[in-house]
Structure 1
Amino acid sequence: MSTPEPNTGLERLYRESGWTLRQLAQEINRIGTERGTPLKYQEPSVHQWLKGHMPKESVRPLILEAFARRLARPITHAEAGFPAPPKELISHPSTVDGLLDLGRQDMDPSRRSVMGAALFSVALAVPNWPDVVGRMEMVGSGKPLRIGMADVDMVIAMTDRISELDDQFGGRHARPMAAAFLVNTVAPYLRADAPEHVRKAMMSAASFLSYLTGWMAVDEGLHGLAQRYYLKGLELAGASADHSTYCHILRGMSVQAADLGHGAPAVRFANASSATSPKSGPRMSAFVSGQQAHSFAIAGDRVNALRSIRETERSMEKAESAAGTFGGYNPATVAYHTAQVRHALGDVAGSISSLQLHFKLRDETDSQRSELRFSSMLAERQLEIGHLEAACNTWNKVLDRHSAMHSDRLDRHVAMIPSLLNSYRANLTARETRERAIQALVS
């Protein structure tokens, strides 16, 4: 067997990264865990890749993403000395066909593991507003279908119902419904004959449904899949000249990146959201600047984080109506963002105070899933400053309602409880809470 030639492209990226072999292996393993496929690569494997041995096909995207995160730019297969990816991984050029393909794969049980393995990309290329306005293809369906505003209203109403189910029970069951609705009803509507104002209204409705489906994919930990839905949503929002939804999707992409701990893309998406935000009043300004504050804090930019959270507070003081913005941004959400900024900047006690204020300000319209997730955060931070009894009390309230919520993000919080309480097993309350969490994970 001939000895392979050294991979000069991979070697060049490795030198540019400044990593050791061990650090590169650790980052690849970390991304594998994020994707849901834990890996245990060590220095010898990386050394072999540099010498020309080709990594497994399933591992190559992880290597590219590791370098992209380190070097803050997209990295191609060719640049790393890898063969081109299979054609099925290349995005379809048509917005409608791409949405159909995405939804059909998402609905197919045999493809769910493949779809779920898609990686969150820090170097994702997001279409700019001027590039997507009016870009929607006029694709003939071959069927004499014509739609009106009643069909648009139906799509909006169904999206609202799916969103309510997601808030109440989590995305694990609601997302397949959304994917099926996209494929079977909404995509054909996008190809139907309609007056221009109806056609744009339908694209706008489809845009938000695509965003919601991506948001639910985030709840399941399917971050690469979520990004693909978000991109389709951006294309549809731009094509329908819907500034509000375009801004909202970019903000959602920033939320996703910030929650994963990726400060630079979180800031990039939040700033892009701000730049395209419609001028609709102080509540929308707070909606955007609150996320900018969280993103800056994750990125370690203390000055801009504190400036942005002050802007958020000032805007919310001026806001009078919840109309004109998605998400019903309210004082409770400001308190949550303040908590996230404080925690990211090292003020754990202040973060706890802001989270407690958040719960005082919540009302019955707020998501039940977010209540349980944020309560889990509160418990983790209470334990972080040594308040064991308070943390266990908060966790027990979460465990009381955990079984009714089908959310991967919440499950991950619950899964942390046994290890966090492992060193406190001499304490009866901690021991009982730990056992409840273990039982909750197997039931």
Structure 2
Amino acid sequence: MNPSRRTIVNAALFSTALALPDRDNIVGRMESVRTGSASRFGSAEVDMVIAMTERLSELDDQFGGRHARPMAAAFLVNTVAPYLRADAPEEVRKSMMSAAAFHCYLTGWMAVDEGLHGLAQRYYVKGLELAGASADRMTYCHILRGMSGQAVDLGHGVPATRLANAAAAVSPSAEPRMKAFMAGQQAHSFAMAGERANALRSLQEAEKAISKAESQAGTFGGYSPATLAYHDAQVRYGLGDVPGSVASLKLHFRLRDSTDSQVSALRFGSMLAERQLEMGHLEAACKTWDHVLDQYPSMNSDRVDRHVRSIAPLLHPYRANATAQETWERARQAA
């Protein structure tokens, strides 16, 4: 990273820290590490890393990986890595490794959203190393599931299935939402791999688990009925049921709430429009795409970019239709 770019990223990172509760204390701890004046750390520093990771995750959800990943990477290099080399009681050190592992996972997830898949793999592998060293099975299986999601995005069904199964196998809890979180990814992966029976079985497991989870407090990984509806849509589409997939994506949007990612809203909205067009519902597809294009200017995501770039080619054969012509022109300008 060139010096001017590093200065910009660090300024943005400290601006992010200012948005957190107890901001003066957090900024002070970050600065002491950056300048090399901190040789020991305690639980307060672990809490600071967790808080910053959560804030960076919110920025990623709102604006995309290209916006947030450079800040997450800078925080990892300038703050988290020095803590891993400093002195601390053993239990505190393990907690810091666990926090660092999850930060590596999040940074890898952002790199996927940038389209930097090799970089994402390196973050994921480092996260697995840290989670293993800290005996944090929850983060370990979370990262494996993320790697499965990356493989699905790239169209690699067999590796996605292997990774999803590995995540489920090392899952440390039988808590219903955790089971749904794992089974939903297995279902999507099986459908991508063409394993119909296994996909439907895993989807049914996810449905049973989420129905139990909704009657209990707590969440895991943000998995909700809206996420389940998305996985149902992906399974249906993978198995050739385009109308069923469209219906499930519409259900997903009815079930979303304010905590859901804006990146996923634009990605899944684009998928819905593409599948509506595949069914021959031209004006419905244009309406859905128009909504995506309304929100697109604030987004900085390669995955969303690729969807938006596909709109004009998909609509080109239908330009005689006035609605399609208007959306086609908007898409060309946006892309």
Q: What is the TM-score of this pair, normalised by structure 1?
A: 0.67
1:83 corresponds to which residue? Answer: none
2-structure distance, mates of 1:280, 1:337: 20
Aligned-partner SS, 1:328:
coil
| Structure 2 unaligned spans of 5+ | 5-35
Aligned-residue offset at 1:322: 5.6
- Identify the match of residue 385 of structure 1 among 260, 279, 285: 279
Aligned pair in 2 of structure 1 residues 384, 339: CA closer, same or farther (>3 Å)? same
2-structure distance, mates of 1:144, 1:383: 58
Letter aligned with residue 307 of structure 2? H
2:190 corresponds to which residue? Answer: 296
Letter aligned with residue 427 of structure 1? N
Aligned-partner SS, 1:421:
helix
1-structure distance, mates of 2:157, 2:65: 25
Q: After superposition, give the CA deviation of every residue in 1:284-340 in whole Å (9 maximum; x if it has no partner).
A: 000000000000000000000000000000011111346362x22110000000000
Aligned-partner SS, 1:398:
helix
Letter aligned with residue 260 of structure 2? D
Letter aligned with residue 365 of structure 1? T
1:338 corresponds to which residue? Answer: 232
2-structure distance, mates of 1:165, 1:172: 10
Letter aligned with residue 288 of structure 1? M
Letter aligned with residue 330 of structure 2? R
2:122 corresponds to which residue? Answer: 228
Aligned-partner SS, 2:87:
coil
2-structure distance, mates of 1:313, 1:164: 27
2:145 corresponds to which residue? Answer: 251
1:257-336 equivalent positions in 2, closer than 5 A? 257-319=151-213, 320-321=215-216, 323=218, 325=220, 327-336=221-230
2-structure distance, mates of 1:185, 1:275: 33
Aligned-partner SS, 1:300:
coil
Is this contact kept in 2: 1:376–1:395, CA < 8 A?
Answer: yes
Aligned-residue offset at 1:229: 0.4
Name the structure where helix makes up a greater proportion of residues: 2
Aligned-residue offset at 1:225: 0.8
Is this contact kept in 2: 1:290–1:308, CA < 8 A?
Answer: yes
Letter aligned with residue 323 of structure 1? G
Percent pairwise identity: 73
1-structure distance, mates of 2:123, 2:243: 37
Letter aligned with residue 140 of structure 2? Y
2-structure distance, mates of 1:398, 1:322: 33
Structure number, greater radius of gyration: 1
Aligned pair in 2 of structure 1 residues 216, 109: CA closer, same or farther (>3 Å)? farther
Q: After superposition, give the CA deviation of every residue in 1:14-44 in whole Å (9 maximum; x if it has no partner).
A: xxxxxxxxxxxxxxxxxxxxxxxxxxxxxxx
- Identify the match of residue 244 of structure 2 among 317, 336, 350: 350
Aligned-partner SS, 1:279:
coil
| Structure 1 unaligned spans of 5+ | 1-106, 111-141
Q: After superposition, give the CA deviation of every residue in 1:382-419 in whole Å (9 maximum; x if it has no partner).
A: 00000000000000000001000111100000000011
Greater RCO, CA 8 A, separation 6+: 2
1:41-120 equivalent positions in 2, closer than 5 A? 107=1
